[in-house]
A = this chain, B = another copy of it.
């Protein structure tokens, strides 16, 4: 697990470097699909003191397989996402300010411009509010289930983020690095959208044509943005 530990460690540092973390809020994880093992940040540990050896390895039931520290209290949410979205390999959770403000406002983030469309093909969805029973028992697991329910008819690789109502965002991708990167781009898009509604309360989404043009010039088989991948 050395290599996955390193990747997940780097992804956690990327969250801090990109200004997405206040205090100890925030965690990134990665999964080794063949072995069914997940590497995640320990709970409540100061990022400045974190080392790869502090990361915790668990199985998909959440039992610790390696490591001396408690895993992040959000582990059960990560596990549900790995179960619900077989195509993903990494998950990141932050309380980044602008994305969290949208989550607190319980409004999806409309696709107001091409910066948004470059990363997300449509509005960033908000989950339902959780019921009392979902909160009282297995809260973190149910947080994952409420996200999965919201994505019942959506492709998690076209929309790599969600806002949990009254809480904060989760993002994901093919590995921990991509999850952390989408958490970062989500914050940028949330910031632009925040400023957009301040200027024009009745701001509207861009057309589907413009949205898809930007998403598809960066993603998928016909992408032509950036340098040829070799």
Report A94-134 residues with CB < 8 Å from chain B CB: 95, 97-98, 100-107, 112-115, 129-130, 132
Which residues of the partner chain B approach A129 to less than 8 Å between Cβ atoms? 206-207, 210
Which residues of the partner chain B approach A139 to less than 8 Å between Cβ atoms? 213, 217
**How far is the CB of A151 from the nearest CB of chain B, in Å?**
21
Q: Name the residue of chain B whose CB is nearest to the CB of A114.
A: B167
Which residues of the partner chain B approach A14 to less than 8 Å between Cβ atoms? none
> Cβ of A227 < 8 Å from any Cβ of B?
yes
Complex Cα gap A23–B213 (Å): 20
Q: Chain A: how many interface residues by the 8 Å CB criterion?
A: 59
> Cβ of A43 < 8 Å from any Cβ of B?
yes
The answer on a CB contact under 8 Å between A101 and B195 is yes
**How far is the CB of A129 from the nearest CB of chain B, in Å?**
7
Which residues of the partner chain B approach A227 to less than 8 Å between Cβ atoms? 42-45, 69-70
Most buried by B among A114, A193, A200, A217: A114
Most buried by B among A104, A130, A199, A213: A104
